[in-house]
Structure formats: C-alpha cells, structure tokens
Structure 1
Amino acid sequence: MSIKEILNSTKTIVIVGCSSKPTRTSYRIAKYLADAGFTIIPVNPNEDSVLGQSCYPQISDIPDDIEVDMVDIFRNSQYTAKMVKEIIEWADESGQKPVIWTQIGVSSDEAKTLAEANGFTYIEDKCLMVEHGRAG
C-alpha cells in the first residue's frame, strides 16, 4: 500500500508524544493534521489535553470504542521499540491493527523488526505533515 493510499484511508491518528506547546514539532503537526480533517488522539503522560482533545497517558488508556487507523510516534528513537511493543499489546487486546508511523529520526531497527514481525505496516523516518502535503 502506498503512502497516499494509507493517508487516504486514515481518519483517526494517535500521536504519541504530542505536546500542548505550540513551539514543539508534535504540536504543529497535530494542528496541521486536525486542520486537514483528521481526528487526533494525543498520548502523553505529561498533558491533560492538546488542541482541545483529551490526552491519554498511554495508548492502552484509549477507550476501546475509538477506532485508530494510525499511530504516529514522536519519541526519542531509544523508546521506539518500547512504544511498538505497547502498540502490539494494545492491538492484541483491542483487535485493531493501525499503521505505525515514525517521524524523522524516531525509528529504530528493533522497532521496525518488531512491527513487521507482528504484521504491522511500518513507515519509518518520514514526516506525516510533509507526506500528507505531497499526497494531496
């Protein structure tokens, strides 16, 4: 599946590491995506809400009735494999299998191997905002 096809079929995006600070890249990209019509679900244990959306401490705290198409990771690459493990556990419990997207400089070989071994589409080292602009 191409990036354009992925983006065209995506409605809801979990943003792990999303910040409420307008100077942070995760905030700017979340705002761009929300303005483009995507539903944004921020995940960050240090935030209560971002862009008017409730922020969840971790992905497993997202209510079961929310259908997630993509998880966009904005964490240091040393934590990406841990995040992928959490996504896999959550997916096993929820029955969902979102695309895992890692922003530029966020991917790791271990994370990619884990995701692919568990049947996830894994996009690495691409800016979601830039790719959406290109696909439009």
Structure 2
Amino acid sequence: MRATSLVKQMLGLRSVTVIEVLVRPHELLIKLRLTRSRLVCPKCSYATRACYDTRTLDSRWRHLDIGTHQTWLSCQLRRLRCPTHGVITEAVPFARPVGESRFTRDFEHLVAWGCAKMTVPNDSDHA
C-alpha cells in the first residue's frame, strides 16, 4: 500500500486524493486535491462545472494529531459564482466554509466532546 493511500484511509477522507505527505519535526502536512469535477457552494446546494478562478494560495486546516505530530491538511481551492451568494470559495467535504473555521470537522468534534466531558474544578476543590 502506498503512503498516500494509507494516510487517506487513516484520516477517513472522502472525495479527495492525497497528493503528498510531508513529515517535518512535530508536524505532518498532507497536500490534497478534491476529486469531484463539480464545484459546490458551501452555503447552499448550488453546484456547477464552471470555475470562476483558482485561488493562488493553498487553504490549510488543522486535523487530528497523528502520534506526536500536529496534522495539517492543505488544498488549493477553486472559486465559483453562485447565483445566491456571488463569487465564493468551493466547499470541502471535511471542513466548514473557508473563513469560518481553520479546523476540520473531526478536530472540532473532538474539542466539543472534550469540553462536554471535562470536569471544571470549583473553589471548594482547592480548600
């Protein structure tokens, strides 16, 4: 099995191709490419094959850590012209729209779970 296929399976990513995996000290950068041909508006269900343009910089999202390495997903995104929302960056299947969050949904769910399950010490615990 190739390293890119292994990483894709480990992270449970759908509708993407892993292009490259860069291992740095305490950091893992995974470069992705979306596999779908249609661009989807992140705020509604509008989809089109027409690309307005391609962003010059890759978008990055923090994902769940793998071992002691912080994991980052990176992907070059296209923009589309939605009839309702105007020119907007396409949706990705693993994160909220660009500009709303720089974390994957899996990362956000883990943080929310941790907040719900952690106990908060009160003043009487320190007496």
TM range (shorter): under 0.3
TM-score relative to the length of structure 2: 0.27
Higher relative contact order (CA 8 A, sep 6+): 1
Greater gyration radius? 2
TM-score relative to the length of structure 1: 0.26
Flag the structure with higher strand content: 2
Flag the structure with higher helix content: 1
